[in-house]
Amino acid sequence: MRALGHLSQEQIVFGLAVLLCIGFAIALPGFLTTNNLLNLVRSVSILGMLGVAMGLVVIGRGIDLSLVALMAVSVAWTLQLVANGVPLHQAVAMGLAFSLVTGTITGCLVAYVEIPAIFATLAMGTLIYGFGRYFLLRLDVVYMPEAARHLLWLGQGTIYGVPVPIFVFAGVCLMGYLFLRYTRAGHYLRAVGDNLLAARITGIPARPVIVMQYVLSSLIGFMAGMVTAASVASMNTRVAISTYVYDVILVVVLGGIGLSGGKGGIRNVIVGTLLIGVLLNGMTIMDIQYTVQNVIKGIILLTAIVIDTIVNPRDEQTAQQGDI
């Protein structure tokens, strides 16, 4: 345990992923082919993008449980608009605007009304889904209409044999990295996540920074949603009330971004995504039932949290009140 204490969770998870890779490569024929590896990354690239969105919020000591709902509803509405005859670029702009406005509202609820992020976003997720279903959409599943066909490239096209979603994922990661590393707003975000009170005292506009987290997350969420819609030529809004958002949190926490904020970066998201990708890919190849996959996934997440707690312990003296 002492030796492990020197390792960060990111390193542990990365090691685990590599071990699994080696194991699968030996045990499963066809695992270590270029095609399968590309497929592996492609299959988790959307999850990874959402992970980047969630990661940014979590680094700022928030959490965004409305991410998936907002993604589903805004993209579904975009498709619906195109189907109703609105020009594609205009529909995309409207969908994006809807997404950003909703993200701002969520951010304001957290920053100004001071509702704990968990509950604000939980409620917003339900609310957004309900709003979408009641006012914007009539069916659960909205198909990609003929007029939006060239969006399909985003999800199904390839560049030099590499699927486009992988490029989008890489792009989002790069942007996220640059944002956190080189922009003032990125530094502010990390400062707010690390210690809100200290950040406020030093003059950082804490509340606007918190709002910004959720706007960013809704922006990346919308991009991930467009890729999702393009890759399956439809958008299923029921994903909003599924447990998908928990998978996203899994990726983030697994990679080693502490939920108490301020720690971690985009690399952690990539590592977490990688482990999940390897795991899912391997389990699918082994034809493990979906329910069993969930149990395995859950246990691995639990292990990651336990390790995190042991490596970064909290105790009664340092635990913050109401810090659940």
Partner 1 sequence: MSLSDTMTRWRYRAVPDHLVGEILTKRWVDNAIPMLILLAVLAVFGSLIPDFFGSASVTNLARQWGEFGLIVIALMIVMVAGGIDLSVGSTFALGNIVALALISVAEWSVPAVVATTVMCGAAVGLVNGLLVGYLRLRAFLTTLVTLIIVRAIVDMLLLKYSVSIAAAFPDSDLWYFFGEGFLLGAPFSVVVIVTIAVIIHLVLSRSRAGWHILAVGGSRRSAHNVGIPVRRVICSTYVVSGILASLAGVLFASRLGGAGADTGIGLEIAALTAAVLGGNSLGGGRGSAAKAVIGSITVMIIVNSLVRLGVTSGANSLLLGIVLLAAVAIDVRWLKNRHKVLSKVYVSPTYADLPPAPPTSGASPYALNDRLRPVELIGLGRIDGPEDVILDDDDNIYVGDRTGDIVRFFAPDYKRQEVFAHTGGRPLGMAFAKDGSLLVCIGGMGLYRVTMDRRIERLTDETNRSWLSIIDDSRLRLADDLDIALDGRVFFSEATIRYEMHDWPVDCLESRGNGRIVCFDPNTGSTRTVLKNLVFPNGICMTHDGQSFLFAETWGCRISRYWFDGPKKGTVEPVISDLPGYPDNINRASDGTYWVALVGMRTPSVDLAMKMPGFRKRMARRIAPDEWLYPNINTGCVIRFDENGRIIETLWDFGGENHPMITSMREHKGHLYIGGIFNNRIGKLKLDGMDESWTGQTSYWGRT
Partner 2 sequence: MRLITTTLLATAVTLCAGAAFAQGIDDPTREPYYSAFEGKRVAYIPVAMGFDLTEGWAAGLKEALEPLGMTIDIRDPNWSTDAGAQAITSLISEKPDVIVVHNPDVQSYARLLRRAEEAGIYVVQVNMRSSYSTDAFIGADYVGMGQRIGERLVEVCSPANGGSGKVAITQGVLTAAASVYQMQGIQNVLSQHDDIQIVSNQAADWDGTKAKNIAATVIQQHPDLCAITGFWDVMDVGTAAAIKESGKDVYLLTQGGGNQMACDGLANGTYSEVVVYHVPGQARDMATMIKHLIQQGQPAGTTKTTLFTPLDFVTKDNMTPASCWSLPGLN
Q: How far is the CB of 30 from partner 2 (least distance, A)?
A: 5
Rule CB under 8 A: choose which of 108, 170, 185, 233 binds partner 2. 233
Is 93 an interacting residue with respect to partner 1 (CB under 8 A)? no
CB burial of 24-41 (b: ≥16 within 10 Å; e: otherwise) equals beeeeeebeeeebeeebb
Beta bridge partners of 159: 162
Is 45 an interacting residue with respect to partner 2 (CB under 8 A)? no
Residue 243 CB neighbours (<10 A)? 10
Is 197 an interacting residue with respect to partner 1 (CB under 8 A)? no
CB 239 within 8 A of CB 67: no
CB 44 within 8 A of CB 277: yes
Token reading at 128: 């957004």
Beta bridge partners of 162: 159
DSSP annotation string for 86-148:
--HHHHHHHHHHHHHHHHHHHHHHHHTS---HHHHHHHHHHHHHHHIIIII-SSSEEEPPGGG
Closest to partner 1 by CB, 34 or 319 = 319
Rule CB under 8 A: choose which of 7, 8, 36, 123 binds partner 2. 36
Note the maximum CA span of the chain: 63
The 8 Å CB, 24+ separation contacts for 315-319 are none
Is 16 an interacting residue with respect to partner 1 (CB under 8 A)? no
Is 5 an interacting residue with respect to partner 1 (CB under 8 A)? no
Instruction: Lay out the site mask for partner 2 across 177-216 (x = CB under 8 A, - = otherwise).
Output: ----------------------------------------
Q: Which does 1 bind (CB under 5 to 8 A by kind): partner 2, partner 1, none?
A: none
Is 143 an interacting residue with respect to partner 2 (CB under 8 A)? yes
Is 311 an interacting residue with respect to partner 1 (CB under 8 A)? no
Alpha carbon distance, N-terminus to C-terminus of the chain: 26
Closest to partner 1 by CB, 134 or 160 = 134
Q: Which stretch binds partner 1 (CB under 8 A): 20-28, 87-95, 161-169, 239-247?
A: 239-247
AA letter at 261: G
Radius of gyration of the chain from Cα atoms?
A: 20
Distance CA 28, CA 285 (A): 8
Rule CB under 8 A: choose which of 41, 189, 223, 249 binds partner 1. 249
With CB under 8 A, what is the number of residues at the site for partner 1?
52
Q: Which stretch binds partner 1 (CB under 8 A): 141-149, 165-173, 200-208, 288-296?
A: 288-296
Residue 194: exposure state from Cβ atoms within 10 A (0-12, 13-18, ≥19): middle
Is 133 an interacting residue with respect to partner 2 (CB under 8 A)? yes
Q: Given the rule CB under 8 A, which residues bind partner 2?
A: 30, 33, 35-36, 39, 42-43, 46, 80, 83-84, 133, 137-141, 143, 145, 155-156, 163, 228, 231-234, 236, 238-239, 242, 280-281, 284-285, 287, 289-291
Q: Given the rule CB under 8 A, which residues bind partner 1?
A: 109, 113-116, 118-120, 122-135, 241, 243, 246, 249, 253, 259, 289, 291-292, 294-295, 297-299, 301-302, 305-306, 309-310, 313-317, 319, 321-324
